Structure 1
Amino acid sequence: MKFPEPLIEGRLVKRYKRFMADVRLPDGSTVTAHCPNTGSMQGCQPPDARVWLSPASNPARKLRYTWELVETGPGQIACINTARPNAQARAAVEAGRIASLADYGTVRAEVRYGDEKSRIDLHLSGHESRSDAWVEVKNVTLCEDGIGYFPDAVTLRGQKHLRELMAQVRGGDRAILLFCVNHTGIREVRPADHIDPAYGELLREAASQGVEVMAWQAELEAGGEPSGSLVLVRELAVVL
C-alpha cells in the first residue's frame, strides 16, 4: 500500500469529536486534519506526538489533510487510518505474500454475505484445490508491553463478524480473521479480554470451530522515517 503523495510531519495538539485532530506544522501554524478512526485509539494519541498527514487529492475538500501515522513511543509508529488495512491485506494477498491465501484467481472486496447482512472485506475464489475463502480484516494498534490487543473498545460489530465467519466454515468454505498489525512495536497479538471479554470468548470459539486466525505486521517499506508506504511483511503469533 502506497500513499499517493508524500506525508507531512507535524505535532499532535489534540483529537476531538472523534473525527478531527489539530496538528501543529513545522512552520508553527496549526491545521485541522480528518481523523479516520472511530475507535478509542488507546495509546495512539500521546500529547505532542509526532504525526504524519496525507494531503487531500480533492482541493475542494473541507479538511485539507488526513491523519495517517503517529509515533506512539521511541522508534514505534502506528497507522491509525482504518481505511488502510483492507488495501494492505488485498495487496499482500494479490502479491502472494501470504502463502495460505495465495493462488486464488479472483479477489473481491465488500461482498455481501451471511444471515446478519454483513460485508466481507475480501472474498477469494477460483483456487484449483481450495474452497472459497472469506477474509475479515481487523486493524491492530493497541500495544501494551509489546503485545498487540484487539479490540481497543467493546465491539458488537466485531462479534457479529465472528459469528458470520463461523457460519461460512459450517457451510464448507474457509473463513479467515486477519489481524493487520499497524504498529511497529507489537511482537504478538492477543484478544483484549480486559476490554471486551465477550469478544475474546467468541474468538476462541471461532478458532475451535475452524476459523483461521492470523496476524501480519506492517513495516515501512523503505525503513526509518515514514516514507509514504506501509506493507505487510511478517507473520506474528496469535495467542488465544
Structure 2
Amino acid sequence: MIYEDIVEGVFLERPNRFIAKVLIDGNPETVHVKNTGRCKEILTEGTKIFLQKSNNPNRKTKYSLISAYKKDMLINIDSQVPNEVVHEAIIQNKLPELIDLNYVKREQKYKNSRFDIYFERGNKKGFIEVKGVTLEKDGLSMFPDAPTKRGTKHLEELIDAIANGYEGYLFLLIQMNDIHKFTPNYITDETFAKTLMKANDAGVKILCYNSLVTRNEITIGKKAEVLL
C-alpha cells in the first residue's frame, strides 16, 4: 500500500478521537486522525509524524495523520489500511496459509457481522477478519488498545461460522517493523482476550504478521508468534 502526497509534521495534541493539532513547516494545522483508538503511547507532544495531504477541496481538514515515531520505530496508525495490506498480500500469494484461493471478495456479510474478506479454496469457504495492531510494549505487540465490543462480536461470529462449516481466520497485522510476538491485551479488555482463546479452541486460525513501514508505504512483513 503506497500513500501519495506525504508530508512531515510534529504532533502537538489530540483534542478528541478524530482530530489532532500539529505543526507542518512550523505552521499550526488541525488534521484528521485515521485511528479512533487511544494511541496515547504513540501520539505524544513533539513526536515526528507523517501526514497525507487530501486533494478533496470539500474536506474540513487538509491532512490525515498516517504514522508516527515511537522513539526510533515508525508506527503506521491508519486503521483503514490493514485490510488493504492483507488483501494485497493474499492476491500476491505472499501468505503461505492463504495461497491458491479460487475466489476472494472484500467485505462479506455473515449473520450480524460483516467480515473483511471472504474466500473460497477448493470446496471450502471461509472468512477473514483483520485487526490492525499499533500497541507495543517492550517488544511485545498487543490488541486491543481500548475495550472493543465489536472485536469480541467478530470473534463470536467466527466461532459460529466454524460451527457451520466455514473456515475462519483472525488476521492480526502489526503495523510496525521488527516486532515478532503478539499477545491479547488482558488488562485493557479481558473479555476480548478470553474470547480469543475460546475462538482458538473452536478452530479459528489466528495469524499474525508484522509490516514493513516507511513514510509513504506499508506492506506485509514476517510472521509473528502468537502467545495466548
2:63 is aligned to 65
Q: Is the 8 A contact 1:132 1:174 kept in 2?
A: yes
1:136 corresponds to 2:129: yes
Residue pairs, 1:1-240, within 5 angstroms: 1-3=1-3, 5-26=4-25, 28-74=26-72, 76-114=73-111, 117-125=112-120, 127-128=121-122, 131-184=124-177, 186-220=179-213, 226-240=214-228
**Cα deviation 1:209-236 (Å, max 9, x = unaligned):** 100001111103xxxxx34210012110
Identity of aligned residues (%): 28
Deviation at 1:93, TM superposition (A): 0.7
More strand by share: 2
**Cα deviation 1:164-222 (Å, max 9, x = unaligned):** 000111111110000011022522100001111111111001001100001111103xx
RMSD: 1.2
Q: Which runs of 5+ in 1 are unaligned?
A: 221-225
Most deviating of 208-217 and 178-187 = 178-187
SS at match of 1:16: coil
Pair 1:18–1:227, CA change in 2 (3 A): closer
Deviation at 1:73, TM superposition (A): 1.4
Most deviating of 97-106 and 205-214 = 97-106
TM-score after normalising by structure 1: 0.91
State the distance in 2 between where 1:46 and 1:238 align. Answer: 28
Q: How many residues align?
A: 228
SS at match of 2:58: coil
Q: What amino acid sits opposite 1:149 in the alignment?
A: M
State the distance in 1 between where 2:103 and 2:171 align. Answer: 18
**Cα deviation 1:90-118 (Å, max 9, x = unaligned):** 0011110111111112211111112xx11
The runs of at least 4 consecutive aligned structure 1 residues that moved more than 2 Å come to 183-187
Deviation at 1:57, TM superposition (A): 2.7
